[in-house]
Structure 1
């Protein structure tokens, strides 16, 4: 294999390959891979998969390593293929599309298309460090998804290398194309279990208008949840985010913004409606917050002030992580069940005697419970893991999902059958077996 790869692409030194054994989820079962290939082209990925297919060697695809579900955990005797060196981009402002390689970071894509007056909306909180290939592999979401949708809504085409090394092109720069099965959508969110994405054609939209921001503090989760339901019943805000008391205090510890440490909930809402309508929507949301007994409401159309509150929300996970090791969840529920989920999580935290913070993309019901524990304490670690499972069980019981945007990976796959059912699991296995009969692509993930 080495002779068919560029110089420096193949790493076998354990001191170097160890850095590629896991993603941000820090899967305890991660092992140092046999080798790492830093691909620079589709041809490089084909070389690896042809060799792996011939020798029956498992291959784990990896983007920037910012995943939160163990989707890029290396396996014993396997090869990790990282796309971090695949960084080309071509923007076509006429068709409002961009053809990108998977190693570019989300923020780099945004900046490149912004030079043409365009915008790529999906914006995970980790947009500055996550790769566009990883976003496609997990169908990532973000803060503005309540109005603009998730990654799959902006993927028009893909180039994918299959398990046997065959490269296929799916879709392309056409807004309407229903010829054949919807295979492009099949690979978005497949977490590297069906093929390795080596090129993505993205749909772009005109640059986002200026935003008005409204921030409100609440003394109860129920009041905040009531405000969320009333807003989403009549408006489509460009952002509607939630932070609980633990997150508020963790962020305030680091950013010193003057957030209300006694508040049980903080909501950050934004409107990017055109012209004067943004201010009107902001006023409407402020009125809703006040009607639902917000203890404090702050509105601004100043871009820097608004972005400061968005930055605080984006910083919530790193801020909470400073309190200890984290188990990060990604459960979602129908909006009417949001309060029940958050209060139920609080009960689980109390029962298991662990700290759990909840932040959420409140406008679409996607929450991120953050379980804080001491990894050096075996008893606490066990309680944290029990809480992890109980939170997913609770989400399922409330009609929700075990993952809204982070993917199943390895950490959540035990709960997938209870969520989708055995018939869907059987269908999923048939698709996996058809595309990867040897089971070499990301074994142990999802299935």
Structure 2
């Protein structure tokens, strides 16, 4: 196994590790206080083990990152790259004795070009910061994860994240044109391009997107931008069953409509949001569907989609009258995961993506799993692309409930694969879904994935124990 090669007596290397790191880094970039380093040990995922890092490094330059990787290679010390640690799969969790490489201080927007429609950024730039900066130039960076006010571009690239707008604009991978990457041995490699087109050689850029820091450390990204679209308007439709809401989703997509978002909240989620925010959402509904358009005439598009919702059995269809009302509805959706966490104090957020035609089967199946395990499981979904987030609510202090939560989580992933889907649409594999990745890929696919890892990281020092 590749990972066995990184093992070394930590008491023998720690002193040398610190000395070598400090030889090429400013003292304030190297953190060793256990009370501080412990805070960098894990991301936001439940049921994912995390080790104790030997040191946390906060580089500010590409040369700093190269020095860290050269040092780690020389001493065979594992390196765990991190962004804002908002991930939900344990991909940023530390391993014992590792160097945590936190890239949050590399947070400069290096260039915004309205002509080329690109932005060049460092990995620590926060998604929302970039979005606002390009908006000032009349441009738009579409990927918008729910954690967009906190998550970093480097983290988004590492997990190939998505967001509410994926149904129209696609995911992070479709906006990464080129990367500068520091490899495990400290060499700097550039991939991709800054041109609108380019097919020279293998697409190594796409290979790094979603690699969860296991192949190299992204230190610069060239991102594609779009012209800023018109202000979107949102429609809310209530349904007496999740099946009817999912039927409406199918009708909308089959009808050729291209909403800027199409989001589903089930009854459990709506109640949780109301309990947390007092927004007054309709708790009599079994499912709430939100559709939005950012077209030149969004009102006409909402009217057409509203008619399809009514044909599918919507009990009420309410189009927003203005941008403020639209934003209020979207804020309800963005509050969903926080609201569900408040139900019991802890959540496991699944990330199963299925074909749109099987969306109702997935949601109904989750309800059966919740009943079987006597748990509260709310479902929110990027319904337009079939990406669901069944969220298991449980009391982490209750061993029996925690066990039932983990069992239900696994059953939901099994259901997703059974329906022709995937175990993750945007959160990644990390530690949480390693066993399930092997099931989805099969032995030949897994062998090829490991061969890629071996080519880029022969010593196995980059984010060991993640993915497989």
Q: TM (normalized to structure 2)? A: 0.94
Structure 2 residue runs of 5 or longer lacking an equivalent are 1-20
Q: Distance in 2 between matches of 1:81 and 1:174?
A: 30
Q: Which residue, out of 374, 387, 394, partners 1:353?
A: 374
The 5 Å alignment of 1:128-277 reads: 128-234=149-255, 235-274=257-296, 276=297
Contact 1:211 1:301 (C-alpha < 8 Å) held by counterparts: no
User: Which residue number in structure 1 is paired with residue 465 of structure 2?
Assistant: 444
User: Which residue number in structure 2 is paired with residue 84 of structure 1?
Assistant: 104
Q: Distance in 2 between matches of 1:188 and 1:47?
A: 23
Q: 1:27 to 1:199 in 2, by over 3 A?
A: farther
User: Which residue number in structure 2 is paired with residue 429 of structure 1?
Assistant: 450
Q: Which residue, out of 306, 309, 327, partners 2:329?
A: 309
The 5 Å alignment of 1:383-422 reads: 383-422=404-443
User: Which residue number in structure 1 is paired with residue 64 of structure 2?
Assistant: 44
Residues 275-299 of structure 1 deviation map (CA, whole Å, 9 limit, x = unaligned):
x2x2111001111111122122110
Q: 1:198 to 1:82 in 2, by over 3 A?
A: same
State yes or no: 1:290 paired with 2:310: yes
Q: Distance in 1 between matches of 2:26 and 2:47?
A: 31
Q: Which residue, out of 82, 87, 103, partners 1:62?
A: 82
State the 1:384 CA deviation.
Answer: 0.6
Q: Which residue, out of 130, 137, 144, partners 1:116?
A: 137
State the 1:255 CA deviation.
Answer: 2.1
Indicate the larger mover: 401-410 or 89-98: 89-98
SS at match of 2:50: coil
SS at match of 1:201: strand
Q: Distance in 1 between matches of 2:47 and 2:80?
A: 14
Contact 1:27 1:73 (C-alpha < 8 Å) held by counterparts: no
State the 1:28 CA deviation.
Answer: 4.3
Q: Distance in 1 between matches of 2:362 and 2:101?
A: 38
State the 1:39 CA deviation.
Answer: 1.2
State the 1:26 CA deviation.
Answer: 4.2
Runs of 4+ in 1 over 3 A off after TM superposition: none
Residues 288-333 of structure 1 deviation map (CA, whole Å, 9 limit, x = unaligned):
1111221221102401100111111011000110112111110010
State the 1:172 CA deviation.
Answer: 2.3
State the 1:141 CA deviation.
Answer: 0.3
Contact 1:123 1:141 (C-alpha < 8 Å) held by counterparts: yes
Contact 1:61 1:81 (C-alpha < 8 Å) held by counterparts: yes
User: Which residue number in structure 2 is paired with residue 330 of structure 1?
Assistant: 351
Q: Distance in 2 between matches of 1:161 and 1:301?
A: 49
Q: Distance in 1 between matches of 2:46 and 2:36?
A: 17
Contact 2:48 2:90 (C-alpha < 8 Å) held by counterparts: no
Q: Distance in 1 between matches of 2:226 and 2:27?
A: 39
User: Which residue number in structure 1 is paired with residue 10 of structure 2?
Assistant: none
Q: Distance in 2 between matches of 1:255 and 1:52?
A: 47
Structure 1 residue runs of 5 or longer lacking an equivalent are none
SS at match of 2:281: coil
Q: Distance in 2 between matches of 1:76 and 1:370?
A: 29
Contact 2:229 2:295 (C-alpha < 8 Å) held by counterparts: no
Q: Distance in 1 between matches of 2:233 and 2:214?
A: 41
Contact 2:273 2:336 (C-alpha < 8 Å) held by counterparts: yes
Q: Distance in 2 between matches of 1:322 and 1:363?
A: 27
After superposition, the CA RMSD in angstroms is 0.9
* Pairs aligned (count): 445
Q: Distance in 1 between matches of 2:26 and 2:195?
A: 34
State yes or no: 1:13 paired with 2:33: yes
SS at match of 1:295: strand
Residues 13-43 of structure 1 deviation map (CA, whole Å, 9 limit, x = unaligned):
1011001000011454112211100111111
